Amino acid sequence: MGSPVRTGIVLAATTALALGLAACGTDSDPDSGDDAGQADANAPLTVAASPLPHAQILEFVRDNLAEDAGLDLEVQEFSDYVLPNTAVQSGEVDANFFQHKPYLDQFNADQGTDIVPVVNVHLEPLGLYSDSVTSLDELGSGSTVAVPNDATNEGRALNLLAENGLIELNEGVGAEATLNDIADDRGITFQELEAATLPRALQDVDAAVINGNYALEADLAPAEDALVLESADGNPYANFLAVKAGNEDDPRVQTLAELLNSDEVRQFIESEYDGSIVPAFGTPAS
C-alpha cells in the first residue's frame, strides 16, 4: 500500500504515528490549504501511494505520460493506511492515492483531518482467500477467518461474507458492520488483523478477507485465487487521488487527475491486471 520510504521509514514509524495520529493530523501548516492558486506548476508533485497497484499506476503515468503533459511526478510508497493521509495533512506530500471514500470519510471524522477526493481511478475487489480450503463449502463451524481491523474494510469484509452465506448480519446493518453485528456466525471464529498483514496470516487461519492491493503484493491473483470476490457493479469502493482541502485546483493535481483518467491508463489497468483491478474513472461520490 521495495521502497526507500516503505523500508526505512514506514515500518519504523507506523506504531508511533498511529499512537500520535491526532497530533499528526493537526500539526500541518494552517496556511498550506490556501496556497493552491499560488502553486508552481513546474514544481514536482509528490504523491504517496500503496505499492500495488497505486504506485505502479502512477509510475506508468510518470514514465509514459507526465513529461508530455508538463508534469514532474514523484511517487513515494507507503505500506500502511495511516501515513499516506497524515503525510498529506502535514504537507509532507502533495497528494495520495491508496484509499476509497468510506475509509477517507471515517479517517477525517476520527482524526479531524480535511482530506478530499479529486478523481476516481480504479476498483480493487475485496476477496476471500485460503491456503487450506478450495471452496466455501469447506468453511463453517470450527473455521477461523481473518478480516481487516479498520472500520470501513471490516464492514466491507463482513458484508462480503454475508452475501455469500458464510454468516448472517443483523437486519439493517450496512457498510459499517462490526463483529458485534453478526447475528449468526455459523460457528466461525474471527480474527481482526491489520490489513497489510492478512496475506501472511493465511498460514495461521482457514481463510482471510484481503484487500486487492495486498493480495497482489502477496502474488495472489484475485480473479483466479479468491474463493469469492466482490462484484464491481455499483461498488462504492473506488480508489481515488486525494489532497488536502483547498488544493484541489492546484494545476499539477488537475493535470495528474486528467492523466489518471486517460485512455492510456485504462488500457494499462485492463492489460496489466486482467480483471483483478478494474478501471473506475470519474467524479467521486459526494
115 and 159 share one domain: no
Give the total residue count for the chain.
286
Torsion over CA: 76, 274, 264, 233 (sign): negative
pLDDT at 35: 45
CB 276 within 8 A of CB 222: yes
CB 128 within 8 A of CB 208: yes
Please give the full DSSP string across the chain, using - where no structure is assigned: ---HHIIIIIHHHHHHHHHTHHHHTT-S-TTGGG-GGG--TTS-EEEEE-IIIIIHHHHHHIIIIITTTT--EEEEE-SSSSHHHHHHHHTSSSEEEEEEHHHHHHHHHHH---EEEEEEEEE---EEE-SS-SSGGG-STT-EEEEE-SHHHHHHHHHHHHHTTS-EEPTT--TT--GGGEEE-TT-EEEEE-GGGHHHHTTTSSEEEE-HHHHHHTT--HHHH-SEE---TT-S--EEEEEETT-TT-HHHHHHHHHHTSHHHHHHHHHHHTTSSEEEEEPPP-
pLDDT at 13: 37
What type of residue is 285? A
120 and 13 share one domain: yes
34 domain-assigned: no
Place of cell 473506488: 238
State the cell numbers at 230.
Answer: 466482490
Domain count, the chain: 2
pLDDT at 21: 31
152 and 254 share one domain: no
pLDDT at 164: 96
Reading the chain (286 residues) residue by residue, the pLDDT tens digits are 333 333 333 333 333 333 333 333 333 333 444 444 456 778 999 999 999 999 999 999 999 999 999 999 999 999 999 999 999 999 999 999 999 999 999 999 999 999 999 999 999 889 999 999 999 999 999 999 999 999 889 999 999 999 999 999 999 998 889 999 999 999 999 999 999 999 999 999 999 999 988 998 899 999 899 999 998 776 889 999 999 999 999 999 999 999 999 999 999 999 999 888 999 999 998 7
Separation CA 264–CA 259 (nearest Å): 8
pLDDT at 39: 62
pLDDT at 114: 98
Query: Across the strands, what pairs with 75?
Result: 47
148 and 54 share one domain: no
* Single residue among 187, 214, 229 that ends a domain in this structure: 229
**CATH for 256:** 3.40.190.10
pLDDT at 161: 97
160 and 265 share one domain: no
pLDDT at 275: 84
